[in-house]
Amino acid sequence: MGKIYERRLEHPLPTMSMGKMILDNLRLNGDHVFTIDGPTGKKMTCKELYEKSVKLAQFLHRYGIKIGDRISIAAENRIEWVIPLCATIYLGAIVTPYNPAYTEYEFQHVLNISKPRIVFVSRRTERTLAKIRPTLSWQLELMQLDDQPFGTIRTLTDILNNEKAIDLSEFETTNIGDNSKHPLAILCSSGTTGLPKGVTLSHRNMFSFILKVIQPDLFDTRLHERVLLLLPFYHGYAFGMLLLGIYRDNTMILLPSFDPKLFLTTIQEFKITCLPIVPPILSFIAKHPMVEKYDLRSVREIICGAAPFTKETIVEVKARTGIKYIRNGYGMTEMTLVSNLSSREDDEGSGEPLPGFLSKVIDLKTRKTLGVGQVGEICFKGDQVMMYYWNNPEATRETFDEDGWLHTGDVGYYDEKDRLHVVDRLKELIKYKAYQVSPSEIEGLLLSHPAVKDAAVAGKPDEHSGEIPIAFIVRKPGATVTVQDIQEFIKQKLSPQKWLRGGVQFVDAIPKNPTGKILRRELRALVAKL
């Protein structure tokens, strides 16, 4: 008999905007240090963030930014990143963060999804976006988070310095109305196929995430927790942790990227208590000899998500570090980051659904709801499930069924203790480290190469990265293109997680069904033979 899994919410969700929550908490916590830059030690208190974000919100309001407008941030992790984040949310505008590693090709696509009015850039992204700007069909303003722009664009420092002194206590956030119907953010996700889609999360979606995960049996994020955040801020995982940190008065120690020595030194020196990471970093902690030179015992708990990892890795990390709890989270951007979390008592599976979720497993052919231990596609409903894909009703219809269930594209089962086990996936995504890589995006680009007749891309298992993309290529008659030519072509067009690190295999034909659809399972079988 089919079973639907449910944990009910114990408390009602707030009806306020996320902007009001942020503003109230920053006003209340004045001298508390909210962010610290790990490499430099530079700090920003809640009072400083409050003053700067309100000033910026004032400027943006005068600039003409209104409720529902989109504002993007395309920069690496840094203290200043949080200022436009807060200011945008105060105004009821929508935050659209971008991966700073995107190429011109990728930026063109994501910009055309949300059509932001302003993009806050770093020196890394300024030139690429300045090159794209004249080709866009709408007016786009660039503003620089760094103090030394390449071009003649406004800097955040200049904006704040030129903003007239105001009575901050009089500032009020924009009334957004029903917080379940107003978007907070548009986050990029690969979805199941093709180029990134705009996952639209509401203010209520994010409140639902925050108020659940602070519960003692879940993240148990405590007041004044010291959280190391090296996850990229444009990624839903880190985006949610930033807002959670404001709500819980945490101190967020920021790293721009993963550097082994800096990572370990930061944990030891700042006595990090909560460590949200992804499996490749967990594997590093388990295996790298450098780890034994550092004291990581301040860490109360590791929360690890975005890709699978083994029970053996958990055992190794606990033995080497003395860290007591390592939790395995399952989720996706479309479900406001996390839907299941393993308990502290056992390491099996990804745990029960979070409160407020309905979950079921359905038969892959009949679509009927399955029972305990039966394998099928995992589906969800609930307050954390996204609103829709921004400006993409077709993709939204493909993801939600007529009864409102979100189909994850992942295959798994619930055991007799209601713990989720993910065993496969229907969707085509390659999980490279914490990134979701769409094979069809790479395939579409490969097919534009003049020497390529047909192409297919799959994930090749890799001990350090989870999976790495590998391409199967059918050359056009007479073409002399090499493996290196193909790899370099992709490198020039796509960001590093999409590079063909698994190599290129030249084949006579791509396995397809009679309608021309690539047979992904046969492709994975070819990979297994290599």
Name residue 92's amino acid: G
Element (H, E) at 439: helix 439-446
Contact 125, 150 (CB under 8 A): no
For the domain with range 430-528, which CATH number is right: 3.30.300.30, 3.20.20.110, 3.20.20.140, 3.40.50.720?
A: 3.30.300.30
Residue 316 backbone dihedrals phi, psi, to 5 degrees: -65, -45
Instruction: Assess contact for 103 and 489: CB atoms under 8 A.
Output: no
Percent of the chain that is helix, strand, coil (3-state, to 5): 35, 25, 40
Kindly list the domain boundaries of the chain, sorted by start residue.
18-33+41-176, 430-528
The pLDDT value given to residue 141: 97
The class (CATH top level) of 18-33+41-176 is: alpha beta
Angle at 446 between CA 443 and CA 447, to 5 degrees: 90
Q: What is the pLDDT of residue 191?
A: 47
Q: What confidence score (pLDDT) does residue 186 get? A: 98
Query: Which of 213, 221, 195 has its CA nearest to residue 438?
Result: 195
Domains 18-33+41-176 and 430-528 in one fold? no
**Phi, psi (deg, nearest 5) at residue 469:** -65, 135
Nearest residue to 97 (alpha-carbon basis) of 202, 232, 296:
232
3-state secondary structure of 189: strand
Mean per-residue pLDDT pooled into runs of 10, the chain (530 residues): 85 93 94 95 96 96 97 97 98 97 92 97 96 97 94 94 82 96 92 75 96 84 88 92 94 93 96 90 88 95 77 86 90 93 82 93 93 94 96 94 94 91 78 81 87 91 89 92 95 92 93 72 86
For residues 154 and 97, give the distance between their C-alpha atoms in angstroms, rounded to a whole number. 19
Q: What is the pLDDT of residue 306?
A: 63
